[in-house]
Structure 1
Amino acid sequence: MAHPDPHAALHARQPGAQTARLWRIWMPVGLIVTVAGVLWALLTAPMPPEPIAAALPPAPAAAAALPPVTIVQTENVAPCDSPEIAELLASGDDDAVVAAWGGGRAFRDAIVAGDADCISLNEPQRLWLVVNKRRSLEPQNYAPKPLAIPAAIREGDGDYLRADVTEALNQLSKAAQDAGHGEVVLGSGYRSHAVQVQNFQSHIDQFGIAEAEAQSARPGHSEHQTGLAADVLACESHCSGILDFGDTATGRWVADNGWRYGFIVRYDHGQQGITGYEPEPWHLRFVGKELARAYHEGGFTSLEKFFGLPDAPDYIDEW
C-alpha cells in the first residue's frame, strides 16, 4: 500500500502556487482585451481636419484673370501750372477759371497767400479786377467790349454794361420780379473816361473836392469805366430815387440775393475807412457767381478785405 507524499499536500496548500496558475490562465486574456481596446480607439478616433487651403473653394475665373494692382503716385499741379487754367485764362471765361481753381474760396485764398502768379488784380477786363483810390485803371482810357443794353433801364447816360453783366442783371431783375419786388432797373452803367471827367468835375462844382471824392471816383479810378458796375433803381408802379434804393424791399432783396447772380454791393455800410466811399447800396459790382458766392459766404464787405489788399480810404496824391 502506497503512502501519500506529505510534501505534495503541503505544496498544494501554498497560495503562491495557485496565484501562478491563475496568472498563466488570465495573462493571455488581458493581452487580448488591451489589444482590442487599442484597435477600437484607432477605429473610432476623429479624422484630422483637411488643410485650410484644400477646404477653400477655388477662386472664380474672373478674379483669377484680374491684372495686378499698380499704385502710381501723382504729383499735385499748381493751378497756375495747369494747362486747363491756362486755356481758360486765354479764353476769357473768368468764372470758369475760378471754378476750375476749386471755387471762389480757393481762388481767393491762393491770391491772399501769394500763390497765384498767373492772376493779376490789375487787368481791367477780369472779373477779379480791383480798382479804388489807390489802384487806378491801366490803361487810363480802357474801354470794355462788347457792350449791351439791359432789358430794364432808365434812359440817360450810361445805359450800357458789359454784355455778360447785362445778361446777369436781366436775370437778377426777373428774379426780383418773381419774388414780388418789382424790377431792378439800370440807372447808370458804363461811363467812358471822358464822361467820368465830366461827372467828377460836376461833383466838385456842386460839393467841393472833399465831398466829391467821398461820393465820386476820379477819372481812371471808377468801376463804371470797366462796364462791371451798375447803379440800380427799384421800380414797381414807379421808380424810387437812387438814394432810396437801400430802404426799399427790392433793395433789401438785392442785398440778400444779388450774389446768386454774380453781384456784390461794392460800397457797404461801415466801410468808408476801407473803400473811401460813403455807403452806396445801389452800386452793384459784378464779379461772377463763383467769387460772389465766396464773398457772400465769407461775410466780406469790401473787395479790399476779400483779396487781402491795403485799405484805400483816400488818394495818394492831391487833385
Structure 2
Amino acid sequence: MTSFDPELSPRRAARAEAERRATAAVAVVPPTEPSPTRRLRREDTASPRRGPVRWASRPRRVRRRLAALALGLTVVVAGALAVGIATAGGASTPLAAPEAAARVGPPPVPAEGLPVPVLAEAPAPKSPCDDPSFTSVLATGDDTATIAAIGGAAAFRAAVASGIAPCVSLSDPNREWVVVNKKRPFDPADYRPGDIVMPDDVRALKESGLRRTAADALTALVRGAADAGAGEIGYLSAFRSYENQQSTYADRVSVSGVEEADRESARAGFSEHQSGLAVDIVPCDGSCGTLDDVAASSQGAWVRDHAWEYGYITRYDVGRIDVTGYEPEAWHLRYIGPELAKAYHDGGFTTLEEFFGLPAAPTY
C-alpha cells in the first residue's frame, strides 16, 4: 500500500493510484498471448498511464480523426464492392476504384466534332426514254403498244406525270393521250387528223365523224348500252375543223358574250373536237333528245358508270371548272383508249390535267 503524500494534489494522487493498479494488473496477466478480443478490451480499458478510457472521454480531436478513418475505410470497402459487382456482371476488365467512382453521376457528354452519319440519297428513277426498246416502239405511233412497252397504263401515267418521260409528248395531236385545254392549243392551230370516219351503227344527227379507233369504240359503247337496257345513244357532233369551231364559238359569243361563251365553248384551236377524239352524245328513244337531256337520262347514267370500259371518259365533270374552265358537260365524251381510261377510272381522277400532272387551265 502506497503511503499518501500530502504534497501531492488530488489529480496527481489519482494518477499515481491508476499507475499502481495498472502495474498490479500486469503482474497477474499470464504469459500466454491474449486473444485479439481480450487485447482490444485491455487496450481500450486500461493504460499504464491514464487508466480506463471511454469513447466520450477521448479528446474531440481524437474522435474526429477516428471518425474520418472509419469513413475512409467505408469508402474503400464500397469501392471494392463496386469493382467486384462490375467484374461479376460480365465486365471484361475490372474497374479500379477511381474509375468506379467516376461512373457515378450524369452520363458523359459526347465529344464535339464526331462525324454525323449521312444517309445516301435514293437513286433517281430511270427514264423510259433511255431505253431503246421503248423509244423504238414509241416512234411507231402505236399508242397501245407504247403503253404496253412501258409496263402498262399505270406505269405510263406515273412516268409522264412525274416528268421522267420527256420523250412522251402530251402536245402531239396524233396521240390518243394528247391534252388540249385553254393553256394548251393545237400545234399547228389548224391541225386536222387524217383518218376521220363515221361510226358504224350509231345514229348521227350531223355528218361528223371520229378517228378510226375512237369511232370503233363508240360503236361498241352504243351497242353495250343497248344490250344493258339503258336505251339508244346517238350523237350530235364529233370532229370539228378549225374553221367550223370558229363559227361555233362566234355564235355562242353573239348570244351570251365572251365570258359566258368561254365557259361553254372552246375557241378555235383549243377545242377537243378538233382532235377527232371527242363526241357529244344524246339520248334517243324513237327521236333523240338534246345535250341537256343526257345527265338525267338512263343513257347518261350508264355512260357515267361504263364509258371507261370502252376507252372514253367524261371530260368536263361536275365541280371541276376550277381546273378545266368549263361548266360540267355530261354529254362530252373524250376517247383516251381503254388502257388509260381504266387507269383514269381506277385512280378516281376527274380531269386529264390531274391525271397527267399538268397545271389547271381555267382561263386562256
TMscore range, shorter length: 0.7 to 0.9
Q: Structure 1 vs Structure 2: percent identity of aligned residues?
A: 46
Give the secondary structure class of the aligned counterpart of 1:247. Answer: coil
Distance 1:86 1:177 in 2: 41
Which residue does 1:153 correspond to in 2? Answer: 203
Residue 237 of structure 2, aligned match among 188, 197, 213:
188
Tell me if 1:271 matches 2:271.
Answer: no
Q: Please name the residue that 1:215 is paired with.
A: 264
Deviation at 1:97, TM superposition (A): 1.1
What amino acid maps onto 2:321 in structure 1? Answer: Q
CA distance in 2, matches of 1:254, 1:168: 13
1:162-311 alignment runs, 5 A limit = 162-311=211-360
Aligned length, in residue pairs:
239
Q: Describe the SS at the equivalent of 1:246.
A: coil
The 1:112/1:156 distance shift into structure 2, 3 A limit, reads same
Q: Say whether the 8 Å CA contact 2:308–2:341 is kept in structure 1.
A: yes
**Native 8 Å contact 1:150 1:186 kept in 2:** no
SS at match of 1:265: strand
2:282 partner SS: strand
Residue by residue over 1:132-159, the C-alpha shift from the partner in whole angstroms, topping out at 9 and shown as x without a partner, is: 01111100010001111012133325x2
Q: Find the aligned partners of 1:241 and 1:163 in 2 and give their Cα distance.
A: 25
Aligned partners of 2:348 and 2:126: how far apart in 1? 30
CA shift for structure 1 position 78: 4.4
| CA distance in structure 1 between the partners assigned to 2:150 and 2:177 by the alignment | 14
Aligned to 1:46: none
CA distance in 2, matches of 1:84, 1:232: 39
Higher mean displacement: 168-177 or 86-95: 86-95
Give RMSD over aligned pairs. Answer: 1.4
Q: Is the 8 A contact 1:99 1:290 kept in 2?
A: no
Residue in 1 aligned with 2:162? 113
Query: Deviation digits for residues 16-61 of structure 1, max 9, x if unmatched?
Result: xxxxxxxxxxxxxxxxxxxxxxxxxxxxxxxxxxxxxxxxxxxxxx
In 2: Cα distance, 1:96 partner to 1:179 partner: 31
Q: TM-score, normalised by structure 1?
A: 0.72
Q: Offset of 1:297 from its aligned partner?
A: 0.3
Segments of structure 2 that go 5 or more residues without pairing to the other structure are 1-124
CA contact (8 A) 1:266 1:301 kept: yes
